[in-house]
Amino acid sequence: DTEVTQTPKHLVMGMTNKKSLKCEQHMGHRAMYWYKQKAKKPPELMFVYSYEKLSINESVPSRFSPECPNSSLLNLHLHALQPEDSALYLCASSLSISGIQETQYFGPGTRLLVL
């Protein structure tokens, strides 16, 4: 089973709101990723967690705050977003971050609209 789940599927928020995106996997994967995808573009990496520690932060603005409470869960906390942050946010996981076991499996995404 290569299932990664994400909630919510859709989110509309104002620029002053605080919201969170949630990602969950029960495949025993130890690496989890957040991507941002604009329409008709490839995904762009935001963050990587490996063994629950932040491994990569691709110079993402501080209004995006990731959190990895345990090896199965990954959250993305959103605060004071801008309309240009509207996008599809994809979560992915992999068994590890080295070797072919790094193959990433993606969730269905959260479609975010910032008004």
Partner 1 sequence: AQTVTQSQPEMSVQEAETVTLSCTYDTSESDYYLFWYKQPPSRQMILVIRQEAYKQQNATENRFSVNFQKAAKSFSLKISDSQLGDAAMYFCAYRSAQGGSEKLVFGKGTKLTVNP
User: What does the binding site for partner 1 look like in residue numbers (CB under 8 A)?
Assistant: 2, 31, 33, 40-43, 45, 48, 50, 55-56, 88, 90, 92, 97-100, 102-109, 111
- CA torsion sign for 84, 38, 72, 57 is negative
Is 15 or 103 the residue whose CB approaches partner 1 more closely?
103
Cα dihedral sign, 110-88-35-42: positive
SS3 state of residue 32: strand
Name the amino acid, one letter, at 10: H
Pick the closer one to partner 1 by CB: 50 or 65.
Answer: 50
- Cβ 96 to partner 1 shortest distance, Å: 10
